[in-house]
Amino acid sequence: MTNLTSAINVNVDANIKKQATAILNDLGVNLSTYINMALIQVVKRNGIPFEVKNPKPSKALLKALKEGEDILKGKTKAKSYTNMYEMLKDLKS
């Protein structure tokens, strides 16, 4: 069976390419081999083989965290409850 190859042209940030190439070289892997390894993992896992997320908190989350800090520091008055049943009664009314 013949192993067919196909070329991929990808535009990447020059600095990122330089840094990644240096790291891969230290590991004994060239960029082409790494890209092949990554693509094989995409196929094997049927998806991206690492977590993709946005580590930046949303504006709403930042606002809520600030509000919570202000409540803890006593800068903002907040209603409190002595037990769960008191809170549930308040929520139902």
Asked if 69 and 59 count as a contact pair (C-beta separation under 8 A), the reply is no
pLDDT at 5: 87
Per-residue DSSP letter, 34: H
pTM: 0.54
Asked if 41 and 49 count as a contact pair (C-beta separation under 8 A), the reply is yes
Q: Splitting the chain (93 residues) into consecutive groups of 10 residues, what average pLDDT does each group show?
A: 84 96 96 95 95 87 94 90 93 90
